[in-house]
Homo-oligomer: A and B are copies of this chain.
Amino acid sequence: MTERHDILPLVPADIDTYRQPVVYMREDCHVCRSEGFGTQSRIEIEVEGKRIIATLNVITGGDWLPQETAALSNTAWEALALQPGAVGRFSHPEPPVSASAIRTKVYGGRLDDAACRAIISDTIQRRLSDLDLAAFVTSCAGDRLDEAETIALTLAMRDAGVRLDWGRGPVLDKHCVGGLPGNRTTPIVVAIVAAAGHLIPKTSSRAITSPAGTADTMEVMAPVALDQAAMRGVVEAEGGCIVWGGGLDLSPADDMLIRIERPLDFDSEGQMVASILSKKAAAGSSHVLIDMPIGPTAKVRSYAAAKALSDRLQAVARALGQTISVNRSDGSAPVGRGIGPALEAYDVLAVLRRSPQAPADLRERALDVAGALLELVGTNGRQLAGELLDGGKAEAKFMAICAAQGGFTEPGEAPQMQPVNADRAGRITAIDNRRIAKIAKLAGAPGRKTSGVLLRTRVGDTVEIGQPLFEVHAETQGELAWALDFTASRDSPFRVEDAP
């Protein structure tokens, strides 16, 4: 009897709503009317046994959506794996079971194992709305997740997606707690550790809010969008890889929570730990080095915050059976010279190739991280790392990994470039990481691979009036102009003070 009221053919809306499933229906459609759906209703859509919950946006005019048809946002269309001609059945969803777990946490209660598993399961199945997820993230802000809750959340996130098993160990890994432009140690560290004969199947992310993620930089030099089988082939052949983790379904809830966390920008120690370690555990890593830059414009801003975060990471890693080590580093200024995918790739290659122009700070940081990681499974890690880099074995390993991933390419160069010069003489006492990152993004990074910022000076240098502080590289004149406009309209990201 209900068949009359709740069925409509489906078409793609071709609208990217950033992972939020949205269904578009005309206000005069019979399903809206008979079901009493209104804008912002949550609607369950079922197609051949697959179900999602989408938010309704009502079409009030125009003619892009034919009568008696529903259109789905890209995320909804993909989640249901639809083909043209699909027909959906629409109903009012039951409230997600995890809503009461979130409510409990919001009111000051605690999350147990079952609550975490329910929340993560409903997150992945998109049964929770963006508002529900925002409430969950808010209820965990600051230090509101205790150690047991953090462990429960991490385990729930780890178990919710694919778990890689490498069949042997130890499996090494690294993670940098973000916030430092240009700090692209990963390709160097993987090359050194793999050259040492260890397993290091590294998955990296693309930039979300930064001018480049490791996957963006690596992609300038070799393919990174490998599937699980291809990744496994690279690791079996070379011991290591540097691939994009986004397509591998490792801790998939993490990406969905990050989508909500980033714009809210609350620091939640528990959620940060669960995010990092669930991904590492899902990737099958047994020994993980956490690089933690500390500085006023970095993600971790004080030693007290670093200590609390390190303690929580250690406690959760123990519960997961992982060995981790935290490497605290100076996060007061950008690392290397380039900021942007290709410009950072140049720095990486210069270090691996032992070029005289290689940025010394990037080399030292990469050796520190590789050394500390090797120390987790042996002795004299720093010395071994240095030997493998200086002797060319790391370079050879990197080239072999690139070849195995699909072939190495030299990074390109942007057609547009303009230097930004010092407007006073003196000594550079600080560089604002966040502002430099913003200029690189306005110039086109990471979407435009060769765009970004090239630093010509560093903290501690003395400069004359008119001397170039940094260069803006861009692929179009428009983007170059836009980045320069922004630079000119604000205080300089370089603080220049009278030299003593």
Chain A residues in the interface with B (C-beta under 8 A): 1-2, 4-5, 12-18, 24, 27, 30, 33-36, 38-40, 42, 57-62, 64, 73-74, 103, 106-108, 129-132, 134-135, 137-139, 141-142, 259-260, 263-264, 266, 441-442, 444, 447, 476, 478-479, 481-482, 485
Q: When the two chains form their complex, are residues A138 and B61 in contact, meaning their CB atoms are under 8 A apart? A: no
> Which of chain B's residues has its CB closest to A142's CB?
B107
Q: When the two chains form their complex, are residues A60 and B35 in contact, meaning their CB atoms are under 8 A apart? A: no
A460 CB to closest chain B CB, in angstroms?
A: 31
23 examples of A-B residue contacts, CB within 8 angstroms = A1-B481, A2-B485, A12-B61, A14-B60, A15-B57, A16-B39, A17-B40, A18-B57, A33-B479, A36-B441, A42-B263, A60-B74, A106-B141, A107-B141, A107-B266, A108-B142, A130-B131, A131-B134, A131-B263, A132-B264, A134-B135, A134-B138, A135-B264
Cβ contacts under 8 Å, A476 to chain B: 33-34
Q: When the two chains form their complex, are residues B442 and A17 in contact, meaning their CB atoms are under 8 A apart? A: no
Cβ contacts under 8 Å, A57 to chain B: 15-18, 73
Q: When the two chains form their complex, are residues A135 and B266 in contact, meaning their CB atoms are under 8 A apart? A: yes
Cβ contacts under 8 Å, A59 to chain B: 14-16
Distance in angstroms between the alpha carbons of A185 and B428 in the assembled complex: 73
Distance in angstroms between the alpha carbons of A36 and B441 in the assembled complex: 7
Cβ contacts under 8 Å, A478 to chain B: 4-5, 30, 34
Cβ contacts under 8 Å, A132 to chain B: 263-264
Q: When the two chains form their complex, are residues B141 and A58 in contact, meaning their CB atoms are under 8 A apart? A: no
Cβ contacts under 8 Å, A39 to chain B: 16-18
Q: When the two chains form their complex, are residues A129 and B263 in contact, meaning their CB atoms are under 8 A apart? A: yes
Cβ contacts under 8 Å, A108 to chain B: 142
This protein's copies in its complex: 2
> Which of chain B's residues has its CB closest to A15's CB?
B57
A5-B482 contact, Cβ under 8 Å, with A14-B60, A130-B131? yes
Nearest 6 pairs between A and B by C-beta? Answer: A64-B64, A14-B61, A18-B40, A134-B134, A18-B39, A14-B62
Distance in angstroms between the alpha carbons of A452 and B60 in the assembled complex: 26
Distance in angstroms between the alpha carbons of A444 and B33 in the assembled complex: 8
Cβ contacts under 8 Å, A131 to chain B: 130-131, 134, 260, 263-264
A266-B103 contact, Cβ under 8 Å, with A2-B485, A476-B34? yes
> Which of chain B's residues has its CB closest to A261's CB?
B131
A265 CB to closest chain B CB, in angstroms?
A: 8
A340 CB to closest chain B CB, in angstroms?
A: 12
Distance in angstroms between the alpha carbons of A74 and B137 in the assembled complex: 29
Q: When the two chains form their complex, are residues A4 and B481 in contact, meaning their CB atoms are under 8 A apart? A: yes
A266-B482 contact, Cβ under 8 Å, with A34-B476, A60-B74, A131-B134? no
A28 CB to closest chain B CB, in angstroms?
A: 12
> Which of chain B's residues has its CB closest to A446's CB?
B36
Cβ contacts under 8 Å, A259 to chain B: 40
Distance in angstroms between the alpha carbons of A57 and B76 in the assembled complex: 14
Cβ contacts under 8 Å, A444 to chain B: 36
> Which of chain B's residues has its CB closest to A141's CB?
B106
Cβ contacts under 8 Å, A2 to chain B: 481-482, 485
Cβ contacts under 8 Å, A129 to chain B: 263
Distance in angstroms between the alpha carbons of A479 and B59 in the assembled complex: 21
19 other contacts beyond A2-B482, A14-B59, A134-B138, with CB at 8 A cut-off?
Answer: A2-B485, A5-B478, A5-B481, A12-B62, A14-B60, A15-B24, A16-B59, A34-B478, A34-B482, A35-B442, A36-B447, A42-B263, A106-B142, A108-B142, A131-B260, A132-B263, A135-B135, A135-B137, A138-B138
Cβ contacts under 8 Å, A62 to chain B: 12-14, 64
> Which of chain B's residues has its CB closest to A260's CB?
B131
A36-B130 contact, Cβ under 8 Å, with A2-B481, A17-B57, A107-B142? no
Distance in angstroms between the alpha carbons of A57 and B476 in the assembled complex: 24
A68 CB to closest chain B CB, in angstroms?
A: 13
Cβ contacts under 8 Å, A103 to chain B: 266
